[in-house]
Structure 1
Amino acid sequence: MMRYISGFMVLLGAVSLAISASVKIPMHLVLKGDHDQYIGYVLAEDTQYGLLLKPHLTHLPPGEHGFHIHVRPSCKDQGMAAGGHLDPLHTGKHLGPYNPHGHLGDLPVLIVNDQGEAKLPILAPRLTVKAIRHHALMVHEGGDNYSDEPKPLGGGGARLACGVIK
């Protein structure tokens, strides 16, 4: 009987690990009066290579957009309540998703097609689902050059869409 209970506990643990290895993040516009408009979701999943973000977003301007994990789990005040980019090591540097000496929350750019849809998956090699929980996911108006020069934080500009990561 103890063998069955032990086996059940191992199975239960494996199921909880599988469940905690992904999170669905609902996204809403945050500019001006559009803060309640739902535009889709981003599915974040742990992989052996890092965090895989699978966007299913609509109603966005075509082109490249800055995409970041922000500190606080709030999208209020046109996304400003989310605070700055996730930076637990206090580097104070925006260096993109591949440089270990910058913000942990810096992600690869989000690509939006001519129909206003973002569907291309993004890999963030330094992140996990656990690391992004209880923060916010932000889409910025402009692109991202993964630098603080010539403009701070990659030059992405205003916050366009936001989702709280639970």
Structure 2
Amino acid sequence: MKRFFTPTLFTLAFTSLAACLAIPSVSTADHHEEGAHATTADVDIPKQAVAVLFPTEGNDVRGVVLMEQKGSDIALRGKVINLTPGKHGFHIHQYGDLRSVDGKSAGGHYAPEGHDHGGPDSDARHAGDLGNITADQEGVAEFSMTVKKQKVHLLLGRAIVVHGGEDDLKSQPSGNAGPRVSLGVIGVANEEHGS
């Protein structure tokens, strides 16, 4: 069976996954100090995330997506290259699983409330429904959007997926947006790295 990753990409993805799963350590001394207890309140909840997008088999679509918590919403921005000109479905998918060459191991759209698929401004929609991004004549899509009523830390370990076609924002279950041409795992961003 052909695999999606080269050894280099596997190393990058494994490193990214390891960063997603990293839990701040608490030293043994902290546990034994009188009155000192580690609680979830001591752990910082990530406010920024990043996804580096890799192409699925037969494609060369790549990009980077950045997320930052802004109150109850997420400010999302990014750049994707090597697309065909026009609109492309853009979604958060259930799993951060990149093992299949066609991207299908990422599962369906992230939909914890069980709503039907819709546009990003629909009253009822998947939490992962981000609509479309638009590529120019050079195949470059640069975008900025607000994901309403969503938390960065709830998306960690899931996938961002770019599709080959336009999301019609109504067809079930995923907007008839065509094959998955690029995807990446959402991981905790290094805030000191900058943009």
2:176 is aligned to 155
RMSD: 2.3
**1:33 and 1:62 mapped to 2: Cα distance?**
17
Q: Determine helix, strand or coil for the equivalent of 1:157.
A: coil
Higher helix share: 1
Measured after TM superposition, the shift of residue 33 of structure 1 is 3.8
The count of residues paired between Structure 1 and Structure 2 equals 146
CA separation of 1:121 and 1:136: change in aligned 2, threshold 3 A: same
Aligned partner of 1:53 in structure 2 is 76
Cα separation, partners in 2 of 1:145 and 1:72, compared to 1, 3 Å? same
Matches within 5 A, 1:9-158: 16=44, 20-30=46-56, 32-34=57-59, 39-48=62-71, 50-77=73-100, 78-91=102-115, 93-148=116-171, 152-158=173-179
Q: Which runs of 5+ in 1 are unaligned?
A: 1-12
Describe the superposition over 1:74-102 as per-residue Cα deviations: whole angstroms up to 9, x where unpaired.
122111000000011122x1012223422
SS in 1 for 2:66: strand
Q: 2:72, 2:150 within 8 Å by CA — same for their partners in 1?
A: no
Give the TM-score normalised by structure 1.
0.78
SS at match of 2:75: strand
Identity of aligned residues (%): 30
Alignment gaps of 5+ in structure 2: 1-40, 188-195
1:38 CA drift (Å):
7.1
Task: Give structure 1 regions of 4+ aligned residues with deviation exceeding 6 angstroms.
Answer: none
In structure 1, how many angstroms separate the alpha carbons of the residues matched to 2:98 and 2:123? Answer: 27
Question: Could you say if the C-alpha distance between residues 112 and 38 of structure 1 is closer, same or farther in structure 2, counting changes exceeding 3 Å?
Answer: closer
Instruction: Quote the Cα distance in structure 1 between the aligned partners of 2:168 and 2:157.
Output: 26
